Amino acid sequence: MKDAAWLKPLRMRLAMIDEIRAMSFRGLQRMFRPEERLFVFRFIRSGGGIVPQGLSLRYTAIAMIGLADEDESIVRKCLGGLSPHEVCARLINDAIRADNLGNIALSLWAASASGYGERGVALNRLADLKADQKAYPTVELAWALEALCHEQGPIAEDLQRKLAQRLIQAFNPDSGAFPHAIGDAGSRLRSHVSCFADMVYPIHALSTFARRWGDSSALDAARGCADLICRLQGSAGQWWWHYDYRTGQVVEHYPVYSVHQDGMAPMALFALDEAGGGNHADGIAKGLDWIGHPAEVNSPLVDKAVDLIWRKVGRREPKKVSRYLQAVASRLHPACRMPGLNRIFPADAVDYETRPYHLGWILFAWNPRRAGAIGREGSMHAH
């Protein structure tokens, strides 16, 4: 990592960084099911208590990516005494049985990060899905590129170059945005709408690729997209939700997700900056501030009473109506928006749930290596 001086804006947030890391360890410990070797899908607040629901292979893979750089004793505590290899064996075995590119890519990435050696079958299965040719969500293609960037050999290296080119070619340099899907327009009314995840995962993957191969076109695309989201970042640090692929303008601001603020945006911008893409520490710091003091509600999303970080702040509305209305309006004309939504559907509703992938991305973004760069090496630990 380069000179730590560029991280100066984050030194004032060290207490919060320590706090959310510690909460992530404790949260993952509560969410893991050793008998299944998987994390739950989510916790929700219900009837005055916290209730677990479902199991998730995808979220387990992300949690394992986040835990990969942590002390072995802490990891085993989070995994109920199991080793990362035992969990990765379950991930690989389940992922290769399906045609889900995202699950296979994340499982391969988790296995590589955890040092699990028997992952060649996942690499071969990923190659079988022809991610360089078929239509896939942009997010899943970015995960596949990231996973491949941690593999050696002609199959992995050839495919990662093809996937990097596919993402670069899909990037719109005029707007600074990536599309929601590549190879398929999807819904005609919503094909122009991209979400925040469609921005940050390609930023991260292309930055990793650029750093490995010295590819300037990959770095330029990642930097161009980062410039867009940072330029449009809310005054209170919000990372907005939906963007117009054609123009780069925000289509719908809400919901604002906690994981975007403290996990996904930091990990993408850190990767970009470490690849030589500039200094985005101010934006990372502003985004982190929102978690402690969200402008839309009177209480922090970091809930110390239940030792969890709540999922998002959104509108009080029938399910997803605002985003669909804005998508239709902006489809009619790029400058058109539905008026009065803030008055009709105010953005002051907290979603009282949390998911393990959120905690995984926190640990991945604020890993021990970056802790040292911020200036407090060894201070970030589980309590």
Domains of the chain: 4-374 (1.50.10.10)
Tokens 């989201």 sit on residue: 229
Q: What angle do CA 215, 285, 141 make, to 5 degrees?
A: 35
Q: From CA 144, how far away is CA 139, in angstroms rounded? A: 9
Q: Which helix (H) or strand (E) holds 30?
A: helix 14-31
pTM: 0.93
Token duo for residue 126: 């990923």
pLDDT at res. 48: 82
Range 85-91 average pLDDT: 97
Residue 237 above 90 pLDDT? yes
Q: From CA 236, how far away is CA 254, in angstroms rounded? A: 14
Decide: residue 153, CB within 10 A, 0-12 exposed, 13-18 middle, 19+ buried.
Answer: exposed
11-15, 22-26, 378-382: lowest mean pLDDT where?
Answer: 378-382
pLDDT in tens, 318-334: 777 776 667 666 666 67
Q: What angle do CA 81, 87, 88 make, to 5 degrees?
A: 145
User: 256 — phi, psi (to 5°)?
Assistant: -100, 120
User: 136 — phi, psi (to 5°)?
Assistant: -150, 155
Token duo for residue 151: 């593999």
Q: Is the peptide bond before 346 cis (omega within 30 degrees of 0)?
A: no
Structure confidence at residue 339 as a pLDDT band (50, 70, 90):
confident
pLDDT at res. 378: 37
pLDDT at res. 379: 40
| Tally of residues, the chain | 383
Q: From CA 95, how far away is CA 44, in angstroms rounded? A: 26
Of 258, 201, 263, the residue nearest 66 (C-alpha): 263
